[in-house]
Structure 1
């Protein structure tokens, strides 16, 4: 499977399919024409020795320093080396791979002045799965994600570290093994590589893909819980949700009824009680609101995936050439979106933890055993799984603090407002992993509760899920190391995101 990159039409679904199918990228010919035209403009600037930021001048506070013509190329190499100040744990390989796709896609818009050689080098790295080791810390999210992207660029010129066939190695050694020369940066190209929001956006895309999948998984897990607590289905009636106008809420309610269709464990209002607690009754409102967030985030990410985010940008207006210094590298729109994603994800875990409490608390769970223990007192059962879930949702409340409301000046106050979007992206994935673990905990407990209630009474669709999950989570007949079950279900949920 190949993704045709045009610089204009890349979608999250393309990325998801690319990752699931171990795909390749291909550059559209019309995009390559734009690349050549924009490079010709850079060559003309060089030939005429015009004063243009980042091509014939220094960077940041040094933008007024003119560079000698014979040092234009060295300027770009110096830029990459000096800006490679990333720290901390590297981004996951999938994130760095998507980062390269996004960087290539933005160069193909024809506003960056990159050479065909650089574009082809990125294409080669992507298709050969030579994945740069990119530290995840050290970016302010404005002037581009300078430090992370510099590490990506180092790999292209044979000076960085890469993952190749799941082994971390020197880029230069891998290129020699593949008989591929390192790219020689030309004027403007270092700047074209590192001015941009690709790290925060790539991490945001991965978080979005997995968050959306978790949102759907949270529904069938909640449906198991609902049946185990003899929940009332009236609250999911379409009339209730159509009266409020939010389509995501309507859709969640419809999916919940579909999951519960045919169940012998659900009730109608007044049969056992008149109404359920909010964690059951308001699933469409709460989960639906998270899907509203996801839809907003998807739109903003797809805008950015097809955006020109470096500086300066090159335009042709008829016979006129424009080279304009602007600020498209500023990550504020994506920082806001990723902070919003953090909140939307967190609430899925918050309400799941409340359902977990209802399943294990003997004052709330009807006729189920305390903590679903096979021998209450001797065996603790699910007691501490609820503790663990409570810990994770509490941690999420700290991580969900918006990174985008912070700023700190840099570059001698030339760059005096920054987005902190990359911090938002990193914290977002931490939240995602916590959410996935909370949903996994609810699944482990709901499976056991359903077993006590009678799995033959489950709805057909949730019975299928029960049977599937029992292949990785055995019935709880005695206390055991439940962290193994939680991890196994969390791994299953992550894999489902790329099915």
Structure 2
């Protein structure tokens, strides 16, 4: 059964189903009625010659210039063409797909004045797997994602480029091959298609979905590291976490204890040392705080996914047309910066655990987990790679949302940079996944040296999964492919399982 869009109830699970399983999408009957009523208000205002931003006026600084009703169609196509100036590498097809879905959901709310046939074509492109080629750089995040969304809109008028059935072609050819026809934009429609936050939100949703799986995997990898270093389990005792009652911290502590239950490698206070280093002892506190961020980000994404973020907004019940600022991406900019910081810390503490696994001054294992220390370097340089990625993350985690550059002759004098924040957060997640992959490889090698049969049942299963990807290190080799293969495995776990809510 197809997912029904009404502009108000789209969930992350549904987005995941559309992105990863190509589930079909339809507009609910009530939403179609709302779209119809909103469109009627636009047409009435055009007929009366009322001066309304973006309908009978120019855009941005040109908002004071009145446009003849006979030129409204040309005004809209000129808008799309002139604003489609994004640059850089294109967004992935999943991001492009998410943008189609989220823009359709926003228009289905019935506050944008779009025609039924235009919204239907947007849905048809999504359902047929026609993905507009959208360059990833060039959005200020207010007035929405103008440049990226303009590239999306070009597809609907038979221009621009698209990916269809694995091949890049013109937008016109993609529509033709799918048996679809381009539309001619009418009053307000160009603005309705491009004035919104769907680029930053699309990237944000994808980043969030991948970050969830990465965080859950990090808990399990950290548990195997704890065992491989004969870590002390007392620090995870529930009493310690009940007196600092963050539920996420308590959940992580309980998970770690469950993962190492049955281990013959973990220790108790005083058996070999009294305390572990922070990167082991403080896993619940650090990972728990990361889950707090994930929950914050989830809340903001759910609101934004079901919001009307264009301008002006059409209120059919009252007939009002209100020029406001819902296109401003500040809430998502903050959320994405916060997500980037959190995922940087996930990698940061992971890299410190890697150091404890390979540094002979910090453990009783062979130096750098080498099969023949000195003659063979073992996993020495994997820690360098992790350190490099962590350092890069620190640069990427500088908040984009603290920046603003005026545009449109100072009419648009404060912007969010939310799309930059989302892009950086996504890149941080890719880097952090590779850091975690290095920890997994090092922890598995340390467990092999200790005796993998001594692992707890849960971590032994993880060990077997890693071993299916990365053979035991018996002599030096290049580990680049090993790292990338483990990273791909972690990423694909989400696609296979769907949305995994933080617990």
TM bucket, shorter chain: over 0.9
Instruction: Give 1:233 shift.
Output: 0.8
CA separation in 1, counterparts of 2:119 and 2:369?
58
The 5 Å alignment of 1:186-225 reads 186-225=186-225
1:422 aligns with 2:422: no
- Supply the distance in 2 between the matched residues of 1:242 and 1:157 (Cα, whole angstroms): 59
* Separation (CA, whole Å) in 1 of partners of 2:205 and 2:64: 37
When normalised by structure 1's length, the TM-score is 0.98
Q: CA deviation at 1:239?
A: 1.1
CA distance in 2, matches of 1:191, 1:497: 35
Query: Corresponding residue for 1:412?
Result: 409
Q: Secondary structure at the match of 1:497?
A: helix
Partners of 2:450 and 2:243 lie apart in 1 by 34
Which blocks of at least 5 consecutive residues in structure 1 are unaligned? Answer: none
Tell me, yes or no, if the aligned pair for 1:2 and 1:18 is still in contact at 8 Å.
no
Which residue does 1:439 correspond to in 2?
Answer: 436
Greater mean alpha carbon deviation, residues 171-180 or residues 32-41: 171-180
Give 1:123's aligned residue. 123
Q: Which is further off, 106-115 or 175-184? A: 175-184
Structure 2 length normalisation: TM-score?
0.98
* Partner SS state of residue 382, structure 2: helix
Counterpart of 2:241 in 1: which secondary structure?
helix
Q: Distance in 2 between the 1:132 and 1:384 partners?
A: 41
RMSD: 0.8
Please show how residues 176-195 of structure 1 align to structure 2 within 5 Å: 176-195=176-195
Give the whole-Å Cα distance in 2 for the aligned partners of 1:20 and 1:191: 29
User: Where do 5+ consecutive residues of structure 2 fail to align?
Assistant: 498-503
The alpha-carbon deviation at position 335 of structure 1 amounts to: 0.3
- Separation of aligned partners in 1, 2:189 and 2:476: 60
**Partner-residue secondary structure (3-state), 1:314:** strand
**Match for residue 501 of structure 2?**
none
SS for the counterpart of 2:3 is: strand
Q: Structure 1 residue 176: deviation in Å?
A: 1.5
Paired residue for 2:270? 270
Once the 2 structures are TM-superposed, how far is the Cα of residue 432 of structure 1 from its aligned partner? 0.6
> Are 2:372 and 1:346 equivalent residues in the alignment?
no
Name 1:249's counterpart in structure 2. Answer: 249
Query: Which residue is 2:369 aligned to?
Result: 372
Match of 1:482 in 2: 479
1:41-120 equivalences in 2 (<5 Å): 41-120=41-120
- Which contiguous aligned blocks of 4+ residues in structure 1 show a shift greater than 3 angstroms? none
Q: Which residue of 2 aligns with 1:291?
A: 291
In the alignment, the residues of structure 1 paired with residue 352 and residue 40 of structure 2 have an alpha-carbon distance, to the nearest angstrom, of 61
Distance 1:11 1:19 in 2: 12
More deviation in 159-168 or 429-438? 159-168
Indicate the residue corresponding to 1:19 in structure 2.
Answer: 19
Q: CA deviation at 1:497?
A: 1.5
Tell me, in whole angstroms, the C-alpha distance in 1 between the residues paired with 2:15 and 2:236.
Answer: 34
Post-superposition offset of 1:4: 1.3
| Alignment partners' CA distance in 2, 1:416 and 1:423 | 18
Whole-angstrom CA distance in 1 between matches of 2:153 and 2:229: 55
Residue 319 of structure 2 aligns to a residue whose secondary structure is strand
Measured in 2, the distance between the counterparts of 1:174 and 1:96 equals: 15
Q: Is the partner of 1:89 in helix, strand or coil?
A: strand
- Displacement, 1:23? 1.0
Equivalent in the alignment of 1:454: 451
